Every structure is written in structure tokens, then in C-alpha cells.
Structure 1
Amino acid sequence: MSQPALRERRRQQTEREICDAALDLFERRGVDQTTVDDIAAAAGVSARTFFRYFATKEAAALVSHVDLDDRVEQMLDDLAPGRPLLAQLEDMWGEILTALDDGRSDAGRLVLRVRRLMLAEPALRQAAVSIDAQRLDAFVARATAALDLDDDLGTRVTVQAAGVAVRVAMDRWAEARDSGDRIDLLATYAAACRHLHTMTAPGHP
């Protein structure tokens, strides 16, 4: 393995260890009762190292799974200018949610864990809004370039709309798990997409 690849692997490992420590502490103590020093100590790193990876303690719990990031990157590269963007995004998010395996895969367990924490911790949910806004800009820029468009307005509106359906489905999924129920994530997402299509259909009030 090359040195750059080895360094990146070590970086990802340290990032994941800090994230796991933050999630463990947030689940046991809550966000307000957990400090950066607590997280750093649990992860076996210094506070200085923590801040090389994350600006806040909340951000440490909001790391997306590397496998999901890789899938998104690949699918952004595969966007086709000749096909409606919304349909492509729905296919993309459908594939991502399939990879979660209803909370059974490594990525699925991580996402479910984070979504459940977000429901209970307003500070974590607010931090997620800020992080999502930053990721949105990069996502829109990539999609706009892939579709060879001069303006990103339509791309931004479409990406935001598709994202709402995903977030609503995941929140419904996490809420059901918290109440002891089990609902199918993919079926919930499909229903959310149908509602989105109904809202945007001609003649809808």
C-alpha cells in the first residue's frame, strides 16, 4: 500500500474512533453533559488531535460512513444529462438506503444510531443542519457540472426536494425504532417519493 493511501486509511480510522467515542458518550450522558476532552480521552487522542478532525463535539458524531460516501461519489460521476435529475437522485438515494439494509449493515447501524440520537438531542440536530448545508453546496456543484448546466438553481431545488423525502423517511424509520415498532425504510422512502410527486403534479393545489 502506498504511503498516501496508508495515511488516508489511518486518518479514516482515527476519525471513525473519535466518532464512535462521541456516539457512545452522547448515548450514555447526552450531548450537554459530554465535553471534547471526554471524547478525546475515550478515543485515546489528545484534544488537539480532536480539533484537527472536528470543529465541534457535535460534528464528531455526524461522520457519514465511508462506504456511503464512496457510493455517492460514484453515482454523482454517473449522472446523465439526458435523464430527469429527480429520477436519478431517487434512484441514487434508493441505492443508498438499500445499502443500509434496514439497520443491519455496518453503515445502516451507524445511520440508525445517529438518527435516533438526533431525535433526542436538539443540539445534534442543529449541528446536522449546518453540516448538511455545507455538503449540499458541494453536492449541487458536482451535479450541476455533471449535467453540464450553466446555472445551479434548478439543480439546487431538485436536490433539496429529493433530500426532504430521504430525511422524512429516515426520521420516520428512527422514530418507529424508538417506539419499538419496525417499519421498512425502503417502503417508507418510496411512499415519501410518491407524496413528493403528487405535490409537484400538474393540477395539484
Structure 2
Amino acid sequence: MASDVPDLRERRRRETRLEINRAALDLFERNGVAATTVDEIARAAGVSASTFFRHFPTKEESILATDSDVDAEIEAWLATTDSGDIDFAGIEEIYERAAVRLVESADDTRSRVLRARRLIVTDAHLRATAIAFDARKMCRLTDAVASKLGGRESFTFARLLVEGVGMTLRIAFDDWATRVDAGEDANLAEIYRATRVELRRVVVTSSPVRA
């Protein structure tokens, strides 16, 4: 049976990405995003600029790192699930596991996620990059779901499915971050579950659109 423990090469890759992420956060907070260069981030992380670019295409994306296990889980889910069973609940369960991982992660991980969000909120250019980054991920996932469902005729359904679930997670994440910044002991997984319930309440109780 295959092990879930990453091999040495993967561990080193993750460690390098983590060092770059930490260095970028420190420099962005100290000097601002615009004034910070890739060379400065690389030097602070103890790597070369070429190594930086092997991991991140831009300096901004170095703090937009996401849970890499999510993409792998979604790929596995699409590969092993019948097209008729591709639904909201399936993707929601994957995202909920990601929320639980963040809740159970080390304080450093949660801190870095929150620091990145604060930078995104206060820096317009970084915010635009984050929106574009998220949109690309949604497009890739939509294409994968549409392909599983049978092609272009399924694209609208796939997009509604992917973006609907993604919207719910973003709203839950923002609520969690706001509460934490306000000093609350908030739990992202619990907030995400509650937001899922709210989404269904909105969909069920909203009045139909009349021409």
C-alpha cells in the first residue's frame, strides 16, 4: 500500500516553499509589496532567484500558497467518482477536510495564512493578484469537472458547481479571519459548516425570478 508520507524530494520542495513564503511575508510587511524584489525574498530565504522562480511565478504568489493536498484530493475524487455523483456535497467535503487541516495545523501555519490575508486586504495590487490567482484555480477545476461530466455542454453546470462551492469557502474564510482578528477563538471548520447550511437556506427560500 502506498504511503501518505511525502518522500525526501517532496519534503525538501515543501520546506523551500515554506522558507520563501516566510521571507516574503516578513519583507512585504516591513517594506511593502511594491518595494520588495524577488532577489531580496530569495536572499532572505537562503535560495537563488532561479530557485524562487521554480516554485513561484511571481513575488506576489509566494504568499498565496494553498493547501496542495486539496488539488490532489479533487483529482482523485474526479478520477474515482461516477459522473452522476459529481455534486456540491462531494467538493464541499474535500474543502471541509482542508478547513479541518488548517484548524489542526501548527500556530505558525494559521498565523501565516492570516498575515497573508491582512496584506491582501490592505494592498490593492496584491488583492488583484489574489483574485486572479483564485480565478485561475476555479477555471482549471471547472474544466476538469466539465470534462468528467462530458464536455462543453456540461460547462455551465460545472462552473455553477465549482464557483458556488468556492464562494461558500471564501465567505467562511473571511468570516473566520475577521473573527480571529477581533480576538475570538473562531473555528474555520465550524464556520464553513454553518456557511454551507446558510447557502442551502438562501437557495431554498429565495423567491423565483419572474420575467
TM bucket (normalised to shorter chain) is 0.7 to 0.9
Report the counterpart of residue 192 of structure 2 in structure 1.
Answer: 189
Shift of 1:185: 1.4
Structure 1: how far apart are the matches of 2:10 and 2:106? 27
SS of residue matched to 2:154: coil
Shift of 1:109: 4.8
Structure 2: how far apart are the matches of 1:68 and 1:135? 11
Report the counterpart of residue 203 of structure 2 in structure 1.
Answer: 200
Moved more, 7-16 or 87-96: 7-16
Moved more, 7-16 or 32-41: 7-16
**CA 1:145–1:40: 2 relative to 1, 3 Å:** same
CA contact (8 A) 2:17 2:55 kept: yes
Question: Cα RMSD between the aligned structures?
Answer: 2.8
1:151 to 127, 131, 154: 154
Structure 1: how far apart are the matches of 2:14 and 2:201? 41
Q: Does 1:25 align with 2:7?
A: no
Tell me the matched-pair count: 201
Report the counterpart of residue 4 of structure 2 in structure 1.
Answer: none
**CA 1:28–1:119: 2 relative to 1, 3 Å:** same
Structure 1 stretches (4+) deviating beyond 6 angstroms?
A: none
Shift of 1:186: 2.0
Letter in 1 for 2:20: I
Structure 2: how far apart are the matches of 1:190 and 1:155? 22
Moved more, 149-158 or 44-53: 44-53
Superposed counterparts of 1:1-205, under 5 Å: 10-83=12-85, 85-101=87-103, 104=106, 108-149=110-151, 150-201=153-204, 204=207
Structure 1: how far apart are the matches of 2:81 and 2:31? 43
SS of residue matched to 2:84: coil
Letter in 1 for 2:119: L
Letter in 2 for 1:55: P
Q: Percent identity?
A: 38
Structure 2: how far apart are the matches of 1:103 and 1:14? 18
**CA 1:96–1:156: 2 relative to 1, 3 Å:** same
CA contact (8 A) 1:86 1:162 kept: yes
Moved more, 58-67 or 71-80: 71-80
Structure 2: how far apart are the matches of 1:119 and 1:97? 21
Shift of 1:136: 1.5
Q: Residue deviations 1:53-91, cap 9 Å, x none?
A: 333211111122334443343334344423361121222
Structure 1: how far apart are the matches of 2:86 and 2:11? 36
Letter in 2 for 1:188: I
**TM-score (structure 2 length as normaliser):** 0.78
